[in-house]
């Protein structure tokens, strides 16, 4: 009887499950729309359809979702799929006639969704198809007053923020000397009917002239695309200055905006915020403007490969990281692989195999590296001082012992005096043109006869600490330098150091190389050029291109096979890039001449 009873229970369970399935929906359905069927829409208003289940985005396309006009012709626009909604985003018109957008005043349109029995019907993520084809009719009113609006457009801003010229995201306006086209960006879309040449005032100041010369634009056109950094279409204007207008590099141009009846207006029909002062216009060579000047302080420069030095930003320039006080590197690299003592009067075998006598003034290397498990001891004489200097980095994986007699130091904070004065007062100074790096398990030891004054370590770069540094060490760092790690009761000065290597005394050039972070390009860009500004000292630059990541939005795809080889600058012509690509700029130079390699920055030019 037990098997029969078990079979009965199984049949009852299956029956209950099947009974519960009768209430499960079989189809995907439309729940509501915005606007309602037969409603009115502004020329820039999205059309939204809300559905009963999460949508399979792979079934959303031009065959399953489309908008048609009264004649059945498809209307251009973009379709977005949310979790349970589909939105049609119209292209707003940008000409005064208002006939160039997705919707035109006084016309009727229909949104159509494909349903069963077609094979391309919309489906939910559970595979349920839209039960039947769906249609939604709507109309763009002939007059905005039919919708209670000031213009045929919905306002895009929040609150009462006025329309302004955008000088934050794009910088000062620029004009290419050969093209005579000026592009201006605004923080909101502009009412197309207000865009006329009379809305803009451009003056040129010429030396010796009685007054400014006004340059009258021949055409003023709204840019239909959303430009990089702007979420809005129609928020930029291109001004064309036809011949015989002539421009020259060095021309001083200024921009003003008209008021009153000639003023630009926003979608609320409000006049643009006036400019407090005329805005300078930069004049670029050639026929293309520099569409993006990179802020050098945000480049995220990091040293590349096995270079002795990297690059950093100093005074608004990209500069090879080094300091005059780091010496001339005449002894080459010092690599300590077994215990070593440096004291005045002893001899030292240097990298080229020759023997040198350690003097009382300085030990000048290109880099200093102490291997793990090894001790380097530097002994300071009772009188005089000693400087251990490296043009590049000072890397400590073992143990550095600084041994000497303490002297009085009259300062404890603020600006440090010169390196020579530090050496006289402290007795021993360690100077690195690059970073000071203390590895895990490594240590710096102040083995002093006496107390009350610190030994001095000076870094032109950063102080990166994973090992131990005792209280008897004072750090003299450049302004803005990073202390990455914890030091005990450290005395800190601002280093009185000078950019540069100081002449051409290096026995061989020291290589400096760095790369920027990956910089996103505009999604619509198909080709770019890069111009390095004011390069000096034999600086070499190149770029690499990476496609956008297929899965992670806003990130480059860094598979080695997909990243381009470095392309030396200047390019022979613009380089093709995939939509949404990223670039980075590589800098390289040999440091050792009278001019420190540097650049004022670089600009990205779009084709």
Q: Among 85-99, 378-392, 455-469, 491-505, name the most confident range.
A: 85-99
Task: Specify the pLDDT at position 502.
Answer: 42
As a whole number of angstroms, the distance between CA 447 and CA 451 comes to 10
Given a cut of 90, whether residue 441 has pLDDT beyond it is no
Cβ atoms of residues 603 and 519 within 8 Å: no
Residue 562, phi-psi category: left (phi > 0), alpha (psi -120 to 50), beta (remainder): alpha
Task: Specify the pLDDT at position 494.
Answer: 55
As a whole number of angstroms, the distance between CA 2 and CA 8 comes to 10
30-147 carries CATH number 2.60.40.1220: yes
> What residue segments make up the domains of the chain, in order of their start?
30-147, 174-289, 323-494, 510-606
Confidence label for 493 from pLDDT (cuts 50, 70 and 90): low
Confidence label for 504 from pLDDT (cuts 50, 70 and 90): very low
Confidence label for 291 from pLDDT (cuts 50, 70 and 90): low
Given a cut of 50, whether residue 327 has pLDDT beyond it is yes
Alpha helices in 347-478 (DSSP H): 419-426
Task: Specify the pLDDT at position 122.
Answer: 94
Region of poorest pLDDT, from 135-139, 177-181, 289-293, 425-429? 289-293
Region of poorest pLDDT, from 36-50, 265-279, 560-574, 591-605? 591-605
Ranges of beta strands (E only) in 346-442 are 347-349, 355-357, 362-365, 368-370, 375-379, 386-390, 394-396, 399-405, 428-432, 436-438
Mean pLDDT of the chain: 82
As a whole number of angstroms, the distance between CA 326 and CA 322 comes to 7
Q: Which CATH class is domain 174-289?
A: mainly beta
Bridge partner list, 387: 362, 429
Residue 564: burial class (beta carbons within 10 Å; 0-12, 13-18, 19+): middle
Given a cut of 50, whether residue 423 has pLDDT beyond it is yes
Given a cut of 80, whether residue 496 has pLDDT beyond it is no
Confidence label for 178 from pLDDT (cuts 50, 70 and 90): confident
Domains 30-147 and 174-289 share a fold: yes
Gyration radius of the chain over CA positions = 35
Q: Which is more confidently placed, 256 or 572?
A: 256
Average pLDDT (238-251) is 78
**In percent, how much of the chain has pLDDT > 70?**
79
Per-residue model confidence as pLDDT tens digits over 517-557: 998 887 666 788 888 888 888 899 999 999 998 888 789 99
**In percent, how much of the chain has pLDDT > 90?**
37
Strand, helix or coil for residue 335: strand
Per-residue model confidence as pLDDT tens digits over 52-76: 999 998 899 889 999 999 999 999 9
| Strand 347-349 to 355-357 pairing | antiparallel
């Amino acid at each position: 009887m037990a098997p029969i009873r078990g079979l009965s229970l199984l049949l009852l369970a299956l029956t209950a499950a099947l009974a519960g399935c009768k209430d499960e929906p079989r189809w995907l359905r439309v729940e509501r729309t915005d606007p309602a069927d037969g409603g009115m829409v502004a020329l820039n208003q999205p059309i939204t359809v809300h559905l009963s289940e999460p949508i399979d985005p792979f079934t959303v396309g031009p065959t399953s979702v489309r908008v048609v006009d009264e004649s059945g012709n498809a209307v251009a626009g973009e379709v977005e799929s949310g979790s349970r909604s589909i939105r049609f985003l119209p292209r707003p018109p940008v000409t005064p006639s208002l006939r160039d957008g997705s919707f035109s005043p006084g016309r009727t349109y229909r949104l159509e969704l494909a349903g069963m029995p077609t094979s391309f019907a919309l489906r939910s993520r559970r595979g349920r198809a839209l039960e039947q084809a769906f249609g939604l009719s709507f109309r763009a009113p002939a007059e905005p007053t039919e919708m209670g609006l000031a213009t045929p457009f919905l306002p895009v801003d929040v609150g009462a923020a006025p329309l302004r010229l955008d000088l934050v995201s794009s910088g000062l306006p620029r004009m290419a000397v050969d093209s005579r086209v000026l592009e201006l960006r605004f923080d909101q879309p502009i009412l197309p009917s207000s865009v006329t040449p009379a809305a803009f005032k451009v003056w040129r100041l010429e030396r010796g002239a009685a007054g400014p010369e006004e340059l009258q634009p021949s055409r003023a056109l709204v840019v239909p695309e959303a430009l990089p950094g702007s979420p809005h279409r129609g928020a930029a204007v291109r001004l064309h200055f036809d011949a015989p207008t002539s421009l020259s590099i060095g021309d001083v141009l200024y921009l003003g905006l008209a008021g009153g009846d000639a003023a630009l207006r926003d979608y609320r029909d409000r006049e643009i915020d006036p400019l407090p002062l005329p805005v300078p216009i930069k004049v670029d060579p050639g026929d293309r403007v520099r569409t993006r000047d990179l802020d050098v302080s945000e480049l995220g420069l990091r040293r590349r490969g096995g270079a002795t030095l990297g690059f950093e930003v100093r005074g608004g320039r990209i500069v090879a990281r080094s300091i005059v006080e780091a010496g001339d590197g005449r002894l080459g690299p010092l690599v300590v692989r077994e215990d070593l003592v440096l004291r005045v009067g002893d001899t030292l075998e240097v990298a080229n195999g020759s023997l040198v006598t350690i003097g009382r003034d300085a030990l000048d290397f290109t880099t200093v590296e102490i291997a793990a498990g090894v001790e380097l001891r530097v002994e300071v004489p009772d009188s005089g001082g000693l400087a251990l200097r490296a043009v590049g980095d000072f890397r400590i994986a073992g143990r550095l012992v600084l041994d000497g007699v303490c002297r009085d130091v009259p300062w404890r904070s603020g600006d440090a005096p010169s390196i020579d004065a530090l050496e006289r007062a402290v007795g021993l100074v360690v100077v690195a043109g690059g970073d000071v790096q203390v590895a895990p398990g490594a240590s710096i030891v102040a083995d002093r006869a006496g107390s009350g004054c610190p030994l001095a370590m000076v870094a032109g770069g950063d102080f990166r600490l994973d090992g131990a540094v005792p209280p008897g060490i004072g750090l003299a760092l450049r302004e803005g330098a990073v202390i990455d790690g914890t030091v005990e009761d450290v005395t800190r000065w601002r280093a009185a150091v000078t950019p540069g290597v100081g002449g051409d005394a290096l026995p061989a050039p020291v290589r400096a190389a760095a790369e920027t972070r990956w910089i996103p390009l505009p999604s619509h860009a198909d080709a770019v050029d890069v111009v390095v500004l004011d390069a000096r000292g034999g600086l070499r630059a190149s770029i690499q291109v990476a496609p956008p990541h297929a899965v992670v939005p806003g990130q480059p795809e860094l598979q080695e096979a997909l990243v381009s080889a470095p392309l030396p600058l200047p390019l022979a012509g613009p380089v093709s890039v995939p939509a949404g690509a990223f670039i980075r700029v590589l800098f390289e130079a040999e440091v050792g001449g009278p001019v420190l390699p540097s650049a004022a920055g670089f600009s990205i030019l779009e084709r």
